[in-house]
Amino acid sequence: MRYLVVGLGHVGLPLYHHLGLKKGAKNVFAIDKNLEKVEALRKGLIESREPGISLSEPQMKNISQDLNSLGFDGFVEIHICVDVSIKGEVYDTINLMDAIDDCKVNLPESLILIRSTISPEIISQLRGNEIGNFQCLAFKPEFLREGLALKDLVNEPDYVGIIVEGANFEENHLEDYSTYTPESLSVLKVANNAWRATKVSFANMLATLCEKLNADPKEVSDLFLLDTLNISEAYLKPGAPYGGYCLPKETEILAAQEKALIGSEMLAQVKFFNDTFIKYWAEKIMEHSPERVIFTSFSFKSGVEDLRNSPYLAIADILRKDFGMTVSQASARQAYHRGDVIVDVHGDYLPEQNNPAELIRIGF
């Protein structure tokens, strides 16, 4: 099988090197619209921030400026790595669309894997395009770190999201990949880096605050990382807003110190989002047009009877004050009627048979 890399930038060039080693240099080809770059690479002159990139003689020969000069047809696995620049919320997709159209015309029986960063809106746009005889148009996000791209490619996740299946689609062409929805992969791609940026900012904010409070930044950091709850999947699974005694109180303490001593408001935004999320769930409940709302519990956490800073009490308060709803907690002798909405707070409610009420679970 043959492979084609479109675009030899910070993703495409390491990928071209990697595929050459993995699939055999004579089976891997590349194109780039930049003639100066192509001519340099064909001479073995590599300008890259990635250490360890080298091209064998066959790989140098297999680089061209356009598809026509490659002189082959039939099935090819195509990796599109062209630049998709982003300004605010606007993606510039001209290079991407041109590359897809070029491949559709010249290699109509191929599998296209988009490696460039794309949004769910672009995915919807691509679904509206005619794909013709193509096997499939799919999104395969890259998770490469600058300076470590070759290492990351060796351990690269095999995620692929099918955007459009062509008329001649054969599933066996994706047998080496794990398939997910392309929209999920699109969000995952940017979420990974946003989370890393958030962690960097939190660590730096905390260190700066330590200096202001005469604490040792390194000592606090070392002790913080010893707590496995801080560096595991704990507290990272989506669900209800946070509440209880400790999280709200101590987040607000640190937020106040951050604002007073540094002037930033990173942790204030954590509280702002949580308050917004509480309103979100109140509005989600109202989408069901309830006549009454019955909560299975108001405790902030399963297994405890603690109502302090309970997000469910806060949701109930909004339902009462903003929407005029009758809100109560379920009891053993509760009689339910059509129009009632039961809010399952902790995900452990088992509805009785023939219960006419509608059930909503808080979470995802």
Orientation angle between helical segments 182-212 and 266-286, nearest 10 degrees? 140
Total residue count of the chain as it appears in this document: 364
Ranges assigned E (strand) in 71-213: 76-80, 85-87, 90-92, 111-114, 136-139, 159-165, 178-179
pLDDT at 132: 65
Where do the domains of the chain lie, and which CATH numbers do they carry?
2-180 (3.40.50.720)
Residue keyed to tokens 């309830």: 290
Distance CA 134, CA 112 (A): 8
Strand partners, 92: 85
Distance CA 361, CA 284 (A): 11
pLDDT at 40: 95
Structure token pair of residue 302: 């399963």
Q: What's phi and psi for 161, nearest 5 deg? A: -120, 120
pTM, rounded to two decimals: 0.84
pLDDT at 361: 92
Distance CA 157, CA 319 (A): 44
pLDDT at 175: 87
Distance CA 154, CA 117 (A): 20
Q: Are 41 and 16 in contact (CB under 8 A)?
A: no
Q: Are 271 and 255 in contact (CB under 8 A)?
A: yes
Eight-class DSSP state of 129:
S
Ranges assigned E (strand) in 121-256: 136-139, 159-165, 178-179
pLDDT at 168: 75
Strand partners, 86: 91
Give the long-range contacts of residues 18-23, CB within 8 A, separation 24 or more.
Answer: 18/150, 18/153, 18/154, 19/79, 20/55, 20/56, 20/58, 20/59
- List per-block mean pLDDT (blocks of 10 residues) for the chain, which spans 364 residues: 94 96 95 95 88 92 91 86 84 92 86 93 87 83 92 95 86 88 95 92 95 96 94 89 93 95 95 95 96 95 90 97 96 85 90 87 88
Q: Are 310 and 300 in contact (CB under 8 A)?
A: yes
Using DSSP's 3-state secondary structure scheme, residue 85 falls into: strand
Strand partners, 4: 29, 78
Closest by CA to 281, choosing from 364, 209, 207, is 364
